[in-house]
Structures are given as structure tokens and as C-alpha cells.
Amino acid sequence: MKEFKQFTIIIFLSFLGEVLHALIPFPIPASIYGIILLFLLLERKVLALEDISEVSSFLLFIMPVLFVPAAVGLIEAWDELRASLTAYVTIIIAVTFIVMVSTGHITQFFLNRTKAKDKNS
């Protein structure tokens, strides 16, 4: 019964994300609204981590299976993708490199900031 309650909380937040997506005219996916709601509830301690931990762990465990429909869709669209495959691969590699470099720089910034704050304390 505990897992049902946890799953209901997650589904309800996803539903609220869908409602916000319909009401707010920004090009933000509904799932992002749901994640932001979840973050705010956890941050403000309205929702405890224990309230969703088991179902969240389970969903993370089965996440690769959730990508199967998307992979099948790519296989079905192979003829359209083949014409622009070089461009797609180039963009994916470039964006991956940009994300890695920017994440490294941001992490270094916060680590250096934390070390400087510790030295001043």
C-alpha cells in the first residue's frame, strides 16, 4: 500500500505538470513542470524524501526499459534519418562536448567557491 501512495504522489505531480503546461504559455514540457513541483515540495519540506523513495528507486531502475518505445520509433524513422545522419551525429558530438565542458567549469567554480568560503571561515 505504501508503494501505491508513493506512485500516486508522483503521478499527481505529473498531472499537475500537465495542467501547468496547458495553462502557462511557455514552451516548457509538462514533465519539467512536474519535476519543478517535486523539487519545490522536497525543498520546502512539504514532502519528505521517504514519501517517494521506493517508487523513485524502482522507476530509476527500470528507466532503460522506458526508452525502448523511443528507440523503436527511431528504427521506424530510419529512412528519414539516414539522409541527415552525418549532421545529427556531428550535432550530438558537439553538444555532448559542450555540456561536458560547461558542467566541468560550473563544478570547478562551485568547488573553488566552497574552498574559498571554508578558508575565510
Instruction: Report the distance separating Cα 71 and Cα 92, nearest Å.
Output: 16
Give, in degrees to the nearest 5, the angle at Cα 14 between 9 and 18. 145
Average predicted confidence (pLDDT) for the chain? 93
Task: Tell me how long the chain is.
Answer: 121
Sequential pLDDT tens for the chain (121 residues):
899 999 999 999 999 999 999 999 899 999 999 999 999 999 999 999 999 999 999 999 999 998 899 888 888 888 888 889 999 999 999 999 999 999 999 999 999 998 888 887 7
pLDDT in tens, 96-113: 999 999 999 999 999 999
